[in-house]
Chain A
Amino acid sequence: AQRVTQPEKLLSVFKGAPVELKCNYSYSGSPELFWYVQYSRQRLQLLLRHISRESIKGFTADLNKGETSFHLKKPFAQEEDSAMYYCALGDSNYQLIWGAGTKLIIKP
């Protein structure tokens, strides 16, 4: 079955430390993967998608088909990175399957 797993509900790191938010997926076809972010009291917004291989706000994510993972990484965390992060999988050209989210807290 199609599924997205984010194993950590909460991740807390110190400012300046590296961050890795884990995402694993299960999908029978060729996956299209995304990271969405929700800052406090703001809307869900697209952070990045694997297909564009871009870096946004210092975050990158590499699709690893062998490990079926799409972990989100940033080498040096900043306080403004504190937010909810959701990994999502495109299940059609219009439908997304979502992970449960990871709350990232950056400690000063």
Chain B
Amino acid sequence: NAGVMQNPRHLVRRRGQEARLRCSPMKGHSHVYWYRQLPEEGLKFMVYLQKENIIDESGMPKERFSAEFPKEGPSILRIQQVVRGDSAAYFCASSPRGGGVSYGYTFGSGTRLTVV
């Protein structure tokens, strides 16, 4: 089992471009969580998805950010018209069912986005 796979590991985008971050959960996991870590800060919750459903997107900025987890394929976090403040590490975690907190998430290696 390859675990939670995130790609790319590093992504450089110019201001105004789009960034697409992918997350393939562990086999058998149908719940995905995205977190963002700004420099010198802890991780901040962004969104919780199940297959074809957004359960909680309360941590997502209202504009430019969107997330999906289709029936087939990885979860995608999409950032349109990136700005320098979007530079951060984006982590994805998965769990086999809801309530992932109680028994610990399985994390991916993260995607480090740099906006130049």
Contact = CB atoms under 8 A, between A and B. Distances in A.
Given A44-B107, A95-B48, A4 B91 contact: no
A44 B101 contact: no
B65 to A, nearest CB: 17
Contacts of A101: 42
Contacts of B43: 86, 88, 96, 98
Given A44-B91, A44-B107, A45-B107, A93 B42 contact: no
Contacts, number: 67
Given A34-B104, A43-B108, A45-B107, A94 B42 contact: no
B33 A98 contact: no
A100 B40 contact: yes
Interface residues of A, number: 26
Give the size range of B's interface with the partner.
Answer: 20 to 34
Interface string A68-108: 00000000000000000010101111111111110000000
B10 interface: no
Interface of A: 4, 6, 9, 32, 34, 42-46, 49, 51, 86, 88, 90-101
Interface of B: 3-4, 31, 33, 35, 40-45, 48, 55-56, 91, 95, 98-102, 104-105, 107-110
